[in-house]
Amino acid sequence: MSTIESILTENRIFKPSQNFTEQANLSEWQEYKKLLTEADSDYEGFWARMATENIDWNKPFSKILNSDNPPFFRWFEDGELNVSWNCLDRHLTTQPNKVAIIFESDDGNVTRITYKQLYHRVCQLSNGLSKELKILPGDRVIIYMPMSIEAVVAMQACARIGATHSVVFGGFSAKSLQDRIIDAGANCVITADGGIRNGKEVFLKNTVDEALGSGGCECVKHVVVYQRTKSTINMDTKKDIWMHDLVQNQPDVSNPVWVSSEHPLFILYTSGSTGKPKGVQHSSGGYLLQAQLTMKWSFDYKQKDIFWCTADVGWVTGHTYIAYGPLAVGATQVIFEGVPTYPDANRFWQMIANHSVTVFYTAPTAIRSLIKLGKDLPKQHNLTSLRLLGSVGEPINPEAWVWYHSTVGSGKCPIVDTWWQTETGGHMITPLPGITPLKPGSCTLPLPGIVADVVDESGESVEKGKGGILVIKKPWPSMIRNIWGDPERFKKTYFPDDFDGKYYLAGDGANRDADGYYWIMGRIDDVLVVSGHNLGTMEIESALVAHPLVAEAAVVGKPDNVKGETIVAFVVLQGDLPIGDESDQTAQILRNWVTKQIGPVAKPEEIRFGDNLPKTRSGKIMRRLLRSIAKDEEITQDTSTLENPSILEQLKKVR
Ligand code: WTA
């Protein structure tokens, strides 16, 4: 594959409104250019200035970037800081009584906690962990919690004592949890009796017991249990301790442990499409810097904002834009225990109205399913508090973008389509909402200090208008530092020999248009090769989603002797599943539509309908499973990370 062809044209442009621009943190094209020029002429100096101006260092750094042993880059390494201090203590004199978190539980109960209260809670838990349980700096602590204030307290408490946390999403099985405990060599697990989602209890402590009982987890000496649901659980007197007992007699102040900027703040496992999960290891100083900068740049953070990121703390989005970024800038944020569809599909809109949310950040998969469940529902709520919308996790199809913009944002809120990854720590390619004219479906331009490019297989930049492989050409402060315990895999995966080990390989295909805007075309592994054309998945899927009948779509290749591959599309309709002839007719309508929108090369040979698509628990479509279904193969791959396994059976049957 040398390049990927771009076949879909999207011409709509949305300029920031004057109202928005006037109040924006960055509001002029020249300002953006100035930052780019600064980063271009003195890359390290630029980052040093950002790190000095944004982070409170206990001991300032004198070294900026250490590139002695690439790709193991080190930033600000002789600087000392504490991330929790930067998120809490520094706000104590300026805004102790500002609400830090508005927590809404699954059943609609609301709890508010101020910066001062949060600080005391974090201090008590960090004292409990360090003094009572003797957790030391550098120890690994697994956090397996429901969405809660306590989950953030647990992460912050680890950061405060220099322990490296690894949050495991609360929906993962005992086996996944066990693998991660063993890989991280954790000596402590922080969990809850259970969590409540969708009106039902998820039994977390039982799953921890099962994981610890399955062997290999002898490293775990303590299990701290937050009491959420009060259901009956087993407590092993030797190992298990209630969180409320642990913190009860602890002082509510504590000195943070100052750590090196390079100290691992957390490990977060990405499931990956194949093989053993990768423990993505992040630093403290560089990571915090990008979290904080992007709150100001991408989200245009203002003191009076009510910020709501709907991700789970089990994913990187919940790390950077719940547990760290919003607290580092001193924001008030909403944290939600439940799901967007409980008790019904009004939930998000209702919550935005109730809490007067100003900045709302969610995923395309949530947007597409909420369109299917009630295109007009947002209109029944007062969403006038909103001033900025965000999207993350997958390419957002232009039609979904336009709906989000017009129906949720009343046409007045810029949308920041933020491209980034677990490995990048924070936003990388994303609009600056007061400056960048938006094009639906494009994540627009790289942030200042981020040197992105689209290259062919030999590492040469491809000309504008052509697709290729997305790479980052210079190290940046919030980048992944290592795969926990596997430096060789780290090098091979992210800095492959194909590019002489020089470029960070994101694994995504992208196209850059004549204005230099980036369009993510899907994962490189998912590229289709049809009659000699390399096609990304995103554009064909977007063409399908642009048809009024279609809610969601995923395309995969099926081997073909003549064409190389033919295109098989899996489609979820806005309405019910079609039956009999209706199914053939709808498929024909959609095939013709794609031919008209893009051209015959992109026409799906086969279209299958389903009620849903197979997705990971973070909402990404798992195309590798669809490839097996398209080939009528048995699925032998690991499906434990799947949100909705039963959908596979349906898609196998339905045509
Ligand atoms: C995809 C989530 C298009 C992409 C923060 C990336 C996106 C992967 C976008 C990382 C976006 C994320 N537009 N694609 N705005 N954001 N992706 O590690 O394929 O869960 O490589 O991090 O999601 O997913 P991860």
Specify the ligand 1 atom closest to the Cα of 620.
Answer: 23
Residue 440: pLDDT above 80? yes
Tokens of 520: 């993510």
417 lines ligand 1 (CB under 6 A): yes
The pLDDT value recorded for residue 163 is: 98
How far, in Å, from the CA of 431 to the mean position of ligand 1?
15
The pLDDT value recorded for residue 1 is: 57
pLDDT tier, 159 (very low <50, low <70, confident <90, very high otherwise)? very high
430 lines ligand 1 (CB under 6 A): no
Residue 177: pLDDT above 70? yes
Non-local CB neighbours of 507 within 8 Å, separated by 6+ positions:
523, 524, 525
The pLDDT value recorded for residue 39 is: 98
Q: Rounded distance, CA 207 to CA 216, Å?
A: 15
* Length of the chain in terms of residues written: 655
Q: Indicate the average pLDDT of the chain.
A: 95
The kind and range of the H/E element at 326 are helix 325-328
Beta strands across the sheet bearing 188-192: 240-242, 222-226, 188-192, 140-144, 164-167, 266-270, 278-282, 482-483
Q: Pick the residue whose CA is nearest to atom 7 on ligand 1.
A: 394
- Provide the 8-state DSSP code for 60: -
pLDDT tens sequence across 581-619: 999 999 999 999 999 999 999 999 999 999 999 998 888
Phi, psi values for residue 22, rounded to 5°: -60, -30
Specify the ligand 1 atom closest to the Cα of 429.
Answer: 15
The kind and range of the H/E element at 205 are helix 204-213
How far, in Å, from the CA of 522 to the mean position of ligand 1?
9
The pLDDT value recorded for residue 168 is: 97
**Ligand 1 probe mutation, 420, 483, 615, most atoms within 8 A of CB:** 420
443 lines ligand 1 (CB under 6 A): yes
% of residues, the chain, pLDDT over 90: 89
pLDDT tier, 328 (very low <50, low <70, confident <90, very high otherwise)? very high
How far, in Å, from the CA of 201 to the mean position of ligand 1?
30
**Ligand 1 probe mutation, 167, 396, 419, most atoms within 8 A of CB:** 419
Residue 514's alpha-carbon distances to 8, 437, 444, 473, in angstroms, are: 14, 14, 12, 21
pLDDT tier, 635 (very low <50, low <70, confident <90, very high otherwise)? confident
The pLDDT value recorded for residue 275 is: 67
% of residues, the chain, pLDDT over 70: 99
Q: Rounded distance, CA 386 to CA 219, Å?
A: 47
pLDDT tier, 366 (very low <50, low <70, confident <90, very high otherwise)? very high
Residue 532: pLDDT above 90? no
Residue with structure tokens 């949890």? 177
Q: ω before 343 within 30° of 0 (cis)?
A: yes
pLDDT tens sequence across 536-557: 999 999 999 999 999 999 999 9
The pLDDT value recorded for residue 2 is: 67
E strands present in 256-340:
259-260, 266-270, 278-282, 306-309, 332-336
The pLDDT value recorded for residue 645 is: 84
Q: Rounded distance, CA 553 to CA 643, Å?
A: 17
Is the distance from CB of 300 to CB of 22 less than 8 angstroms? no
pLDDT tier, 273 (very low <50, low <70, confident <90, very high otherwise)? low
How far, in Å, from the CA of 566 to the mean position of ligand 1?
26
How far, in Å, from the CA of 419 to the mean position of ligand 1?
6
Average pLDDT over residues 323-345: 97
Residue 274: pLDDT above 70? no
